[in-house]
Amino acid sequence: MQRAPRTIRWSAKAWGLALCLISCLFFVAFQGGKLSLMLLIIISCLSVYLLMGRWSGISSARGRREIGGVAGGAMLQSGSAIKANIHVDIPGFWPIPYVTVKDKLTKLGGETHVFEGTFVPDWKRRGELTYVTPPLARGVYKYEAVECATQDIFGLFEHGGVISMPLSFSVLPRTVAIPEWRQLRTLFKGNHQQSSVNGSHRETTQINGVREYIYGDRLAKVHWRATARTGHWKSKEFERESLPKLTIVLDRQTTSYRSGEQFELAVSVAASIVQFAATRSMSVGFLSVGGGKAYAETPGGHETRRRIEQHLIEVQPDANGDPTRALRDRSRLPASGGLVVLVSPQRGEAVLKLLKWLDLGGLSACHLWINQETNAKHRDDWTAALRSVGVAAYGVQRLEELPLVLGGKGL
């Protein structure tokens, strides 16, 4: 919270009031009489009152913003609305009839929401404005400054101030919990898959964070700095060795999607798979293309998932976001035995050849098909074509279908 800068405004109304005062002075000087004197007194009192409005304290107002569900670094999920309370404290003693408060919420690279309301200050010259935002879409949002303004009782002059209250927060893509993916084990290649699954819970030497001390932990696992800082026993949390490598490929090509809602569904499906992999301690990687550049995260642990989630918050469709080009670069893909999951609404010969090429290269391929086909025959033809080359396919029309599809209806 910072003190607002003092603002000074000279408008046509101010010059008009000054002209009226000067005219009254000349009227008294050259005409005289009770009428001219009374008129001068009235205009003088009115001028003093209007002039003192500049020192009403509105330009030095202080305040704070309270946002429900955002404090403490918490993240919201797409479709959530937040409740905001703006508390304003106005110094000084000059009477203020009411205060208008305007707040702006800006989405990075998107629209701006403006919230405006008024309140009457109490005897302590304090007030509060409460509002609820509409459901927020996935993205990064930013609050900047709150504008406060007041007018005199005649509504002639407006005085304002700005209270700096910067705040940023993120809205995650919508996700759905996936309790089971029945065909996941069979998708990994050969005998290596079984040993991978058995070893998926072994710890590596890579520290992932700090956790509470569990009775029986070795002294070598105790995190002494965290223990000394908190006064409670803490142990080191190590990355789990997750040999099955899962790489998610997101199709961002603008021409692939019929609407923005379809792209949001693709992002939500990818985010749900990342969330599923986290619950299974699997190494997950990510690959997407946009602006002629490939965003790649090699399969890894907690930090990799965190960077992937941040990318999914900000990602947007792109005319140059063709995933087939990036998949041709073998260095961005996991080693043999891994699984590549393509999240895309594309279908056709090019996609079929690409998935078959991955399979021939020692990688398993899976297509999460973001489809909005109303013709069941077209859907069956595409899944049959993929099945013929040994590629698993799952058609997803709504996010709520994903757990059911992966739970036993994959083709």
Residue position matching structure tokens 């000349």:
26
The residue assigned the tokens 């021409």 is 255
Give the C-alpha separation, 385 to 45, whole Å.
Answer: 88
Q: Which of 62, 61, 101, 108 is nearest to 84 (CA)?
A: 101
Helix (H, G, I), strand (E, B) or coil at 248: strand
pLDDT tens for the chain, 411 residues long, are 444 444 444 567 667 777 888 888 887 788 777 788 888 788 788 877 777 777 788 888 899 998 876 665 567 888 888 899 999 999 988 888 889 999 999 998 878 999 999 999 988 889 999 999 999 999 999 998 999 998 887 777 788 889 988 888 889 999 999 988 887 877 765 434 444 444 444 555 555 667 777 766 777 778 788 888 888 888 876 655 544 678 899 999 888 898 889 999 999 999 999 999 888 878 888 988 887 677 888 887 778 888 999 999 999 998 887 787 778 776 777 767 788 899 999 888 888 888 888 877 788 888 898 886 655 556 667 777 887 777 888 888 889 989 988 875 444
Domain boundaries, the chain: 54-172, 184-200+242-406, 207-241
Q: Which of 178, 235, 185 is nearest to 209 (CA)?
A: 235
Phi, psi of 97 (to 5 degrees): -70, -40
What dotted CATH number matches 184-200+242-406? 3.40.50.410
Query: Which DSSP helix (H) or strand (E) runs through 89?
Result: strand 83-89
Fold agreement between 54-172 and 184-200+242-406: no
Second-level CATH architecture of 54-172: Sandwich (2.60)
* DSSP assigned state of 119: E
- The amino acid present at 110, given as its one-letter code, is G
316 contacts 109 by C-beta, under 8 angstroms = yes
What is the full DSSP assignment across 372-390? Answer: ----HHHHHHHHHHHHHTT
Residue closest to 259 by CA, chosen among 348, 179, 372: 372
Indicate the residue type of 296: A
Taking the mean position of all CA atoms in its chain, how far away is CA 146?
21
- Residue 64, beta-bridge partner list: 87
How would you label 276-289 residue by residue, b for 16+ Cβ within 10 Å and e otherwise?
A: bbbebbbbbbbbbb
User: 251 vs 181, 226, 267, 340, 390, CA distance in Å?
Assistant: 22, 42, 9, 13, 21
